[in-house]
Amino acid sequence: FYLPPIFDLICNLRLLVLCRTTILEETLKLTQARKHVERHLRNRLSDIHSFPTATTMSHVLIPRAARTLTMTALRRQGPAAAATSATTTTTFLRFYKGQAGEHPAKVSDKEEALARVAQPKSDEIRARHLRLPDLNEIPPASLDPTKTQDNLDIRRKRLVYRSKQRGWLEVDLLLGTWAHENVHTLNEEELDQYEAFVNLETIDIYNCITLRLDVPEDMKTPDGNGVVERIQAWARSSPLGQADPEKYKEVKTASKLI
């Protein structure tokens, strides 16, 4: 079966027309879809511009692809859209703003009234928590009804303990024995003098008690009856005896150093 060349030409032309029609239809569909997207984005932009300021857009998150399509559409509109393009770009703000700006707190009158009442109580509790404890703040009902203690009594006990726990046997015996016998009779001023002496280095206390050194100048009193001077006078009387084991044991037992 033989077909003339003219028939082949007609078939090819018909095929080309069909392909062109299909391409035009697809192009039209794409154009309509693009216009639909641009129209939708314009509506979104008009909604965005309706906000009072750009700072209110911190909660708006526009995808990057949508921003690209929008800017492409604005460029296709020509120079008339150039004036609005700069304004449009300022409306696209990031959702995460880091440390930028402080939003004014919306506190009701009732909450402010509660804060005014609670803040002084909070400050008082914090101040009491940070400072050192004071026995005067403990209510009498919380204390042992059979015993009465005050700050001076606790201070005396603390100084007696420190005197017995210096770490050197000689200092523990001499200073601990004197503290056990005399600290409970000291008043507040004398306790200050004795605590200053206890705060010295152990070697200095040892040299002072054993009469190797004189009383420090800042601890001497005009009448010569200061606490440290009394300790030296007591040490001169050989309170632990002179190489007497029985006396040594007796003093340790009486001063609760055993």
Task: Give the residue from 90, 105, 133 where a domain finishes.
Answer: 90
Residue 162: CATH number of its domain: 1.10.150.250
Which residue blocks in 105-150 are alpha helix, DSSP H? 109-130
Residue 85 and residue 156 in one domain:
no
Instruction: Supply the pTM of this predicted model.
Output: 0.40
Question: What is the per-residue pLDDT for 88?
Answer: 44
Tell me the CA distances in angstroms from 237 to 149, 211, 230, one per residue in order: 34, 12, 11
In the predicted model, is pLDDT for residue 99 greater than 70?
no
Bigger pLDDT: 16 or 222? 222
Total domains in the fold of the chain: 2
Instruction: Supply the mean pLDDT for the chain.
Output: 73
Same domain, 166 and 244: yes
Boundary residue ending a domain (40, 61, 90): 90
Per-residue b or e along 131-165, where b marks 16 or more CB atoms closer than 10 Å to that residue's CB: eeeeeeeeeeeeeeeeeeeeeeeebbeebbeebbe
Percentage of the chain with pLDDT > 70? 61
Q: Is the pLDDT of residue 59 over 60?
A: no
Q: Is residue 231 part of a domain?
A: yes
Residue 147 lies in a domain: no
User: Tell me, what DSSP letter sits at residue 44?
Assistant: H
When mean pLDDT is compared across 53-67, 123-137, 151-165, 218-232, the lowest value belongs to 53-67
For residue 145, being part of any structural domain is answered with no
Over pLDDT 90: what percentage of the chain?
Answer: 6
pLDDT of residue 39: 82
| Residue 122 forms part of a structural domain | no
What is the extent of the structural domain holding 10?
5-90
Q: Is pLDDT of 101 > 50?
A: yes
32 within domain boundaries:
yes
- Within a domain: 106: no
The string of pLDDT tens digits covering residues 132-182 is 666 666 666 666 655 555 677 888 888 999 898 888 888 888 888 899 889
- Section 212-234 average pLDDT: 87
Structure tokens at 84: 């609005």
The pLDDT of residue 189 is above 50: yes
- pLDDT tens digits for 6-45? 666 677 777 777 787 888 888 888 888 888 888 877 776 6
